[in-house]
Amino acid sequence: METVWWVLIIILFLLAYAGLVLLALPDIPFILGGFLLYHFLIDNTQLGWPFWITVVFFTIVLFVLDYVAGGLAAKKYGGSNWSMIAAVAGVLIFPFFLGPLGIIVGPFLLVFLVELMQNKDTEKALKIALGTLIGFLGSVFVKFLVITGLIIWFVILVFL
């Protein structure tokens, strides 16, 4: 039966990586699920408190990062508070219409339009929208590093 649990853990880890680009898949909760599966169904002694505190911390931080990275980047590049809201709305709404491409197009387009509606010139609005895109891509990169680091730590604790 342990083999079945390991297969499920590996599937959860792979789904986490897929979740980096497919918004419908929650990346960090899949990692947490894999760790919980191991802890409760295979061995509840290998993963200590430092591991769990770190995992819960990153779960919360990365969950929040998913929704605010684009907005914070828009703000950093000179966007308004409305741009922050538009970036979050774009991430949440556009994937339903454009699939995974909506994750990139949605925030970019909404931020661009919001800034144009606030009488910013096209060049400035484009700069802010590109900043939003950079924020999103940066967040994907950071999540990839954190997920990979947590999996490596898990493997070290379990197998070494």
Number of domains in the chain: 1
- Where helices occur in 19-101 by DSSP H, the ranges are 27-41, 49-76, 81-93, 95-98
pLDDT digits (tens, 9 = 90+) for 104-138: 899 899 999 999 999 889 999 999 999 888 887 88
Question: Looking at the domain assignment, is residue 126 inside a domain?
Answer: yes
- Residue 74 dihedral angles phi and psi, to the nearest 5°: -60, -45
Question: Looking at the domain assignment, is residue 43 inside a domain?
Answer: no
pLDDT of residue 23: 67
pLDDT of residue 70: 64
Q: Are 115 and 38 in contact (CB under 8 A)?
A: no
Q: Are 131 and 79 in contact (CB under 8 A)?
A: yes
Question: Looking at the domain assignment, is residue 139 inside a domain?
Answer: yes
Question: Looking at the domain assignment, is residue 15 inside a domain?
Answer: no
Q: Are 83 and 70 in contact (CB under 8 A)?
A: no
pLDDT of residue 44: 94
pLDDT digits (tens, 9 = 90+) for 84-107: 788 878 888 888 888 878 888 998
Question: Looking at the domain assignment, is residue 138 inside a domain?
Answer: yes
Long-range contacts made by residues 155-158, C-beta under 8 angstroms, separation at least 24?
A: 157/46, 157/47, 157/48, 157/51, 158/38, 158/43, 158/46, 158/47
Tokens 């590049």 appear where? 77
- Domain carrying residue 111: 48-159
pLDDT digits (tens, 9 = 90+) for 35-66: 999 999 999 999 999 999 999 999 998 888 77
Question: Looking at the domain assignment, is residue 21 inside a domain?
Answer: no
Cα end-to-end span (Å), the chain: 22
Q: Is the pLDDT of residue 24 over 80?
A: no
Q: Are 159 and 100 in contact (CB under 8 A)?
A: no
Mean pLDDT computed over 4-23: 92
The pTM for the full model equals 0.82
Question: Looking at the domain assignment, is residue 34 inside a domain?
Answer: no
Question: Looking at the domain assignment, is residue 55 inside a domain?
Answer: yes
Q: Is the pLDDT of residue 67 over 90?
A: no
pLDDT of residue 31: 95
pLDDT, greater one: 143 or 64: 143
